[in-house]
Structure 1
Amino acid sequence: MTEQYASTTQGDARPRADTVHFLPDLCAPQAVLVLVLVAELLALLLAIVHHGLAALTWDAIALYSFQLQWVVLVSAVLLCRLKPCLNRLHPVRAGALSYGLVLMVTLVFSLLGQWLLSGFSGTSGSPLEHWQRHLWQLAENLLTAAILAGIGLRYLYLQQQLRNQQRAELDARIQALQSRIRPHFLFNSLNSIASLIPIAPEKAERAVEDLASLFRASLAEPALIPAAREIDLCRDYLALEQLRLGKRLQVEWHLDELPEDTPMPALLMQPLLENAVLHGIEPLPGGGTIDIQVARSGSQVAVRISNPLPNTTPPEPGRHNRMALDNIRHRLHAHFGPTARLSTRRDDGRFTLLIVYPAKWPS
């Protein structure tokens, strides 16, 4: 059980801070839209510089736009294809490769454009003059591309490095938050295991494996894991608590059929169930029932946990409970941003907690 959890956690979690990207994802829809708009603005600028504002025509703008769009979009596609290779190279080599790639694409489309224009418009003057004009035009295109590509690639590189730094800081923050999770039931669980060894050694062995998997999860790298893996971990935790509380602890599960790619922050539900046992079940002599619901509706995942409220429960949650809830809120915001939310409600003698967050892996 312990080895299985360790392997699946690391295998299923999506790579995040361990991959340092050289450039942003230029094939993302938002990036493509920005590139098209920037290319169109550059086409307008070059048409104004070459023809002047008074003599500017739509034909001139269309000609520059056609060539620039091809150069920009083809360069973006090639850089996307080379992204894994660029990420492995030293930044200087990756920058030189990207820069040379853009210039090569510019050269190819410049030659193709000159060939098409020659075919449509015919040639005038001597062949020497014809080739001189082509060479000067080619040099002008390459020089313009060299300047613009240098500025553009430098901007994209710095933008991605800023994102890498923010991602690293965010992962460090998530790890700091997750490192605070230390199940308070450790000694109670060890006592329960010790009492089981002489009378039920198989149950004691299983309890040791469940306890080991819980602590392995609490010490693992902060990550998103499949929701099914977190649910299995919660079942292990509740099985440990039932060794101690017996029939006083009843659990009702209401689980939808979740797709395998449904994400969930590691140790999201376990500390909440820990609070439900500590503040809802233990104070009641007769115990009670914890109701757990996990559902996915469209683009959102909803987690609902409900536990009984003892009559002695104060109107405000205790310090330990507030810290756990604040911890969960911070981790949800770190993974999913403001689209994730956590809310609580007290009614009919029960405490209900609801978590809603996006059902997709953050990019």
Structure 2
Amino acid sequence: MTDSHASRTDRAESDNFLPNLCAPQAVLVLVLVAELLSLLLAMINRGLAHLTWDAVALYSFQVQWIVLVSAVLLCRLQPSLNRWPAVRAGAVSYGLVLLVTLVFSLLGQWLMQGFLGAPWSLNLWQLAENLLSAAILAGIGLRYLYLQQQLRNQQQAELNARIQALQSRIRPHFLFNSLNSIASLIATAPDRAERAVEDLASLFRASLAEPALIPLARELELCQGYLAMEQLRLGDRLRVDWHLEALPESTMIPALLLQPLLENAVFHGIEPRPEGGDIQIQIARSGMQLAIRIDNPLPATGHTSERPSNKMALNNVRHRLQAHFGQAARLSETRDGGRFTLIITYPLE
């Protein structure tokens, strides 16, 4: 899934008129609600003292068909409902449920009378009762589903805005150093300078893209390009050790989640040390979660980076993880044995 495809999917889902009633969880809820409604109707019409499982089964058969067929038709109409004004979409949805109720009420009368061997005759009172019940229940149900989806749309829009605001803060501080390194390479190593320009362009293109989950392989490609640019400046002082477990191509990660952390590792762990140091990056699956570990040396006592240490990058990453994955995501940090270690975990979807 590309950035643009992911962002288009997010926008499409955030503009839905009704929830996706054909999703497995939604279908299960509809079946349970229809069964409870069947029990209620049977109890009202037969009375609790005369309630039998045969009566419940008869109501259940008809109600389940009406509910599930209506849900399927509303799913098929979802693209059109999303484009129409709310009043028109609501009226069509409401009318569709009543039409399905009418069809299955007539079909139910015909089948029941045929099963009993009685000649066909239309029971208008029963038909009116079914339509009136459907009108009341469909009005309440569709209104609830509409309000629920609008709340979800609003929450999704606020989430996207929050992620966009967090991602917009990512403006790599190494820009001028990278440009100076590129300028020094133009005369002596034009091929390396060209690759560095391409890496820098890719990184800034990603930082300006819409917030989205992107393939892990794409994020790693951006990080490798960033570290390659830093090696132009730091040379052998910067050593990178990758430990990557083979993961499915569908493994996703928030865009530019790792680059700010690697930037911190370079500026606060490698640059202040005259001898440099190594950054170790481990990415592996841990059960149903993805585990990412970034380890770099702490600067020696008395040495500090040119840029004062701050928590902006860590807080930014922590907030973005929570925005995408909620409380299921974790970011922890430890300082031990002269090393600084970050561990990120979040659920694989």
**TM-score over 0.5 for the pair:** yes
Question: Hey, what does 1:354 align to over in structure 2?
Answer: 343
Question: Hey, what does 1:85 align to over in structure 2?
Answer: 80
Whether the aligned pair in 2 keeps the contact of 1:214 and 1:233 (CA below 8 Å) is yes
Question: Hey, what does 1:336 align to over in structure 2?
Answer: 325
Counterpart of 2:197 in structure 1: which amino acid?
A: V
Q: How high is the sequence identity, in percent, across the aligned residues? A: 74
Q: How far apart, in 1, do the equivalents of 2:315 and 2:308 lie?
A: 10
Match of 1:322 among 306, 311, 325: 311
- How much has 1:233 moved relative to structure 2? 0.3
Aligned: 1:42 with 2:32: no
Q: How far apart, in 1, do the equivalents of 2:75 and 2:297 lie?
A: 53
Whether the aligned pair in 2 keeps the contact of 1:17 and 1:171 (CA below 8 Å) is no
Question: Hey, what does 1:258 align to over in structure 2?
Answer: 247
The secondary structure found in structure 2 opposite 1:307 is strand
Counterpart of 2:114 in structure 1: which amino acid?
A: G
Q: How far apart, in 1, do the equivalents of 2:81 and 2:293 lie?
A: 44
Q: String of CA shifts for 1:147-190, please: whole Å, max 9, x gaps.
A: 21111111101100000000000110111111111111111111
Whether the aligned pair in 1 keeps the contact of 2:3 and 2:210 (CA below 8 Å) is no
The secondary structure found in structure 1 opposite 2:280 is strand
Aligned: 1:271 with 2:260: yes
Match of 2:179 among 161, 165, 190: 190
Deviates more, 1:160-169 or 1:75-84: 75-84
Structure 1: stretches of 5+ with no match in the other structure: 1-6
- How much has 1:136 moved relative to structure 2? 2.0
Whether the aligned pair in 2 keeps the contact of 1:14 and 1:224 (CA below 8 Å) is no
Question: Hey, what does 1:15 align to over in structure 2?
Answer: 9
Question: Hey, what does 1:31 align to over in structure 2?
Answer: 26
Aligned: 1:114 with 2:109: yes
Counterpart of 2:95 in structure 1: which amino acid?
A: G
Q: How far apart, in 2, do the equivalents of 1:208 and 1:112 lie?
A: 70
Residues 1:9 and 1:248: Cα distance change in structure 2 (over 3 Å)? same
Structure 2: stretches of 5+ with no match in the other structure: none
Residues 1:319 and 1:339: Cα distance change in structure 2 (over 3 Å)? farther
- Aligned positions of 1:230-241 closer than 5 A: 230-241=219-230
Aligned: 1:101 with 2:96: yes
Normalising to structure 2: TM-score of the pair? Answer: 0.93
Aligned: 1:70 with 2:60: no
Q: How far apart, in 2, do the equivalents of 1:73 and 1:105 lie?
A: 10
Aligned: 1:306 with 2:295: yes
Aligned: 1:179 with 2:187: no
Alpha-carbon RMSD across the aligned residues, in angstroms, is: 2.1
Normalising to structure 1: TM-score of the pair? Answer: 0.89
Question: Hey, what does 2:190 align to over in structure 1?
Answer: 201
Residues 1:299 and 1:319: Cα distance change in structure 2 (over 3 Å)? farther
Deviates more, 1:268-277 or 1:335-344: 335-344
Counterpart of 2:240 in structure 1: which amino acid?
A: V
Whether the aligned pair in 1 keeps the contact of 2:34 and 2:63 (CA below 8 Å) is yes
Q: String of CA shifts for 1:190-242, please: whole Å, max 9, x gaps.
A: 11112112222222222122112111111111111011000000011001100
Whether the aligned pair in 2 keeps the contact of 1:275 and 1:321 (CA below 8 Å) is no
Counterpart of 1:348 in structure 2: which amino acid?
A: G
Residues 1:320 and 1:138: Cα distance change in structure 2 (over 3 Å)? farther
Deviation beyond 6 Å, 4+ runs, structure 1 = none
Q: How far apart, in 2, do the equivalents of 1:84 and 1:321 lie?
A: 47
Match of 1:141 among 110, 130, 141: 130
